[in-house]
Structure formats: C-alpha cells, structure tokens
Structure 1
Amino acid sequence: MIAMAAVLTPPHLPFTRLLVIAPALAASLWAVRPTLGLGAACVLGVVVYAVLYGRWDDLMFTVSSIVAVTGAAAYASHLRVQRERTLSQVRAVADTTQKVLLRPVPRRVGHLETATLYLAAAPQAKVGGDFYAAADTAFGLRLLLGDVRGKGLPAVGVAAAVLGSFHEVAYDERSLEDVARRLDTSMGRYCGSRSDLEPLNSDSGAGPDGEEFATAILGEIGHEARHMSLLNCGHPPALLFQGDVVRSLDPRSVSPPINLAQTLGLAYSVERAPFGPGDMLLLYTDGVTETRAPDGTYFQLEQWARGVPAGVTPRELLTLLHEALLVQSGGKLNDDIACLAVRHHEAEA
C-alpha cells in the first residue's frame, strides 16, 4: 500500500519514507532474520523506485532511516525471542513442579469418584501454598487438603515437605491421628532445617514463636464402609452433599494446625460422618470463601452449594464452583484455591 501511494502521489509527498514502519512492526511478531529480510526488501524497493521515477532527492535519507530502524528492530526481535524462550522454560519448570508436588489423584477408587481443582492467584503460577493429595491405601482412600500460612517459595517448600510426608505415612499409619502426628513432625523438621535462613517477614504467615504452620483436613473413606472419618487441623470445614441437603461438617473438637501441636498442646480428634451412595464430599481452602466481589462481599459457599443440582459428578461440581468464583471476583482471583471432591458412586455401592 505504501508503494502504491508513492507511485500514485506527486513527488512532493514522499510516501517512501513510511517504509521504515514495516521492519519496526515486524519485530513484534517475526524473528531476527525475517525482520532483516523485510528491511532489505524495503531498501531495495526505495532504490528501484528512485531509479524508475528519478526521485533521488531523499533517497539517502530514506535508505539511512530504513537501515537504522531495521537494525534496531532486529535487536528488539532478538530480545523478544530470548524472553519468549525463557518464559517457555519457566512454564515448563512450573508444569513439572506442579506434577511433582500435586501428584495426580486417582479418578476412581472402587465406589469412589474424585476430582480436583487448583487455581493459582498469580497469572503464571502453577503452585503455591495450597495443596491436596489422595492415596488408595489398605485402610481406604485417604485424603489431605491444606493451606500453608505463607506466601511465595517458602510456602511452596513447606507444602512440598507436608505432601512428601503424607505420601509416605498414609500407607503405613493405622489411624488419622498417627498420620497427623507424622505430618507435624515432618513439617517441624523441615522448618527447623531452614533456621539458618533469613528471618521470615511479616507476610510469611509465621505462627507463634516465629513458626510456620499449615491448616489441613485429613480424611479416610473405607473401601466398603458407609461412613468417613475426618480430622480437621484448624481448616475450613468440609461440605457434605446428601441429595438436596448440604451441611457443613464443623468439628466438635479442635485439633491443632500442622506444626503447632506442641505449641498449643492439643490432641488430635477424629470425627465420623455418614457417607453413603450418592453422597459427595467437598474439601476446599479458604481462598474459596475469601473470594471477594468488587463491592467487597465474600463468596457464600454454603448458599451457593444449596443451588447445585443434585446428582452432579465431582468434576461437574468443581467446574460450577470455578465459574461461580470467576463471576464473584470479576475474573480476578486474589488467592490460591485448592479443592478436592469425592462422590460415593451409587452404581458400584
């Protein structure tokens, strides 16, 4: 179009000077060599135009401008390509880290069907301080979902320590109380090994005496049982869907968060609840209930849950929840979110 404009307009309108725009725009999309090639084509076009139409007055100025802009554009293209490669590598590392820390949860274990949801607050983040895990053990399907009271890489490290310990002890310990004690010990050792690091800042989520801690829910659903066991370590209560009824499983007694058992001096308490055919359990982190609307109101999880159609699968439940949270927050989630849903499948009950 610029060439046509240069040919069809009078000599005193030097449209050929606009050719400097082409390599500048190409740098935003093309690699270095194509950008240089386009700049060379523009120079050649200007020279041919001058020869054919005898317009030599601004040839040197136009050619010099195109050469200078093309050089700068090629360098900008080089930097952009490098940044894209680095970002691709960072994303690959983040994807791998997520797969290592948040191991895939079995979608079906006997009569149980499961699904998970993980949403990171940071746009490019894959992992954070929220975590979940499930293990098909001789004692039944054991579940873990929790939230490290911290942010950034330190929180990821603590979550990794807790998850690593769970995937070991879940298969060996006979009771959820023993699993919780082992998790508490493992997290305490991990945090103690970092005592030589710089002190945590005020946003790290440290507990009393500078300790880090994590709230969590441990669950166990037997392979043939019609009930489940839950151990709530200071975490938001689970939701139980039973037909058209939704109820919050608030613990009757308090269990200490992980890594605060010795500090608070409390014992672990396991509670049982019925869990029969068609029932569904939802575990979630506080990022769900603390999701705010633009006017500052919090997401009302129980109220929303009462409107969920009966008979939905765990995956459908979490998809509906994700959509509701995006609507609530206007598409801007400000905290990590982890959810784990388990349904007692009627067909195989």
Structure 2
Amino acid sequence: MGFAFAKLFVLLLLPLLSSLTLEHSAAQGFNCSSPRSCRALVGYVTVNNTDLGTIQSLFNVKNLRSILGANGLSVSTPRTHNISAQQVIKIPINCVCYNNTGTSGGAPIYEVKEGDTLYHIAAEIFSRLVTFQQITEANGIANSSLIMPGQELKIPLPCSCDDVNGEKVVHYAHIVKPESSLEEIASEFGTDEGTLSRINNITAENQLIAGEPIDVPLKACNSSIRSDSLDFPLLAANGTYVFTANGCVWCTCDAAANNSTLRCEPSQNKPSRWETCPSMQCGASDGLSLGNSTTSGCNRSTCSYAGYNNSIIFTTLVQDSTCSQTTPSNDVTRISLNWDFLCILILLCFHLFQ
C-alpha cells in the first residue's frame, strides 16, 4: 500500500518537475557581450486590472515619464491611469552585461510578502520575465523554499546591449503569446525571422515557447550623441521618447516624421541634479537653440543634442538637404528618345512622298 502510494505521488510530481525543467532550460537569459551598459525594455503583462503608479512601484522606476515615454503615452498621463488585465506595458531598465549575459542592473528589488514563493514571484508577479531559478541564483539563496516576509530580492530581468546586424538597437524582452510564430513576431516588431532565430539561439520553431521572453531588437533612431557623454548610447525606438541630461532634454523618435533621426529639445522640466539647466545653444550666445533649425536654399542647419557631462549639455550643428533629389539622366534620356522619334517620323514622311 505504501509503495503504491509513493509510486502514485512520483507520477503526479513528474509533470510539475518536467515543466520546471523546461522553464529553466528555455529561459537562460539574453546574449550580451557588449562592455557597456545601456537602456533596454521589457514587456510586462499585467495579471489583473492595475494602474501605472502600481507598475512604476513594482519595477522601481524613478520617474513615471520614463514609462510614459517607453509606451508613447502623453507626458500628462497620471499615475492613476488604469491598465487592464493582460495588457502589455513596456518597462525601461538599465541593462548590464556580465559573463555574456545581460541582466537589469540594480533594479527592480522586490520585498517578499506573506505567502510568497519564488515561483509565484517569477511567474505571476513578474509575468514570467524571469524564472525562479534565476532569482535564486541572483540572490545566492541556498534553499529556494525558505524566503521570509520582508526579505528583499533582486529581480534579474533579461536584456542585451549588443548591436544587431551592425546597427544599434533597443533590445526588448517580449513575452511570447500562445500559438504565435517567429514570422508573426518579426512582422509585428519590424525585424526578420533570421535575426530573431540567431540572437535567441533558436534552431527550430518548437523552441519558441509561449509565456517565455524572447529578445526582440527594435530599430533605434540615429543620433549625434558623443561617445564620452554620460548617456551614451542614447537609444530610443520608433514611437517612443526619452528624457535625458538630468531631465533637461526631451528626445523623440518618430521615424516617419524625422527620417529616423532622434529629435531633441529642451524639456522645460526642473532638472534632477542641477539647480538650473545649462545652456542648450549651438555656437555663440545668439546661435540656434537646441531643436531649432534655419534654412538657406536647400540647406538646413539644425541644432542637435550631442550628450552631457556633469556640468555641460553638448550640442552640434547638423546639416541636411531639404530639396528633393531628382535624376537628371532620366530627363535627358526622355528628351533624347523624343528627338529620335521625331527624326524617324520626318524621314518616313520624306520616303512616302518621294
């Protein structure tokens, strides 16, 4: 009787163990070999109806406007803005690469509540963006069954800072939807199947597991940020905006309107670490202000953001052409063909009337 009960218990336990093993093998973190840190995004799937303020607190995001910008929401959107269950909210995180794996640096930190388990924290509170094994390892927990209310846990969210296909991108941790495919994900986010397969080490479609995060590279707007700037590389995906330079500068990425170039201007916000925002002009005191342009003929000069340090906001004058490019050779060819046709017609008339 005792042996039969033990056998039944093992049989019932096997599916749970296999699912946990699958979860552990499927979510090994994102490849990240870059020596630098960067700004990345994770897609948080809300479990219940909630609001932006609650999400901000959960992920320890300092400024609400960081979440608003990542989701293309108006800067006037309040913390009480309702978010429905199963809605995806993009969360900006600071990504750090270590041992060829990218994880969120420093935040979020989660305080254990009464009745919490590591599996519940990973799978339900943080919507499977991380596994309980990864939380265990990141916090040096010897026994994953022993966590105490009030205990603070680092949540190692997946991310990357690597260039993709030779271009700088914003890496986005996307939770795979049921029955979706690499083709559908690639189409949704403006990339291709080959790129998704390569950066996620996916060699077969059945390795794409619903409910697990996949690394999706979002095309970033071009910018003039200096490599010695404190916010280098400043990356923003299409349809998003970011605040930088201690909150003094507001940069938007609108690929259609600005030819995939990051457009920055003074934010009018109170700076976070300066008493007042430094000058944001190009050249002399009577020069162009950040974000403004002047045009002469086909040439346009724009005062663009180039970064900042502890006391200065860098600017640079960017030149581009406003005139549409025509192809003279096509017009010349068309005129030449018309003359050839006319000459043939005249010769034919002479031949007929001889």
TM-score, scaled to structure 1: 0.29
- Which structure is larger by alpha-carbon Rg, 1 or 2? 1
**Larger relative contact order (Cα-Cα within 8 Å, sequence gap ≥ 6):** 1
Which structure: greater strand fraction? 2
TM-score, scaled to structure 2: 0.29
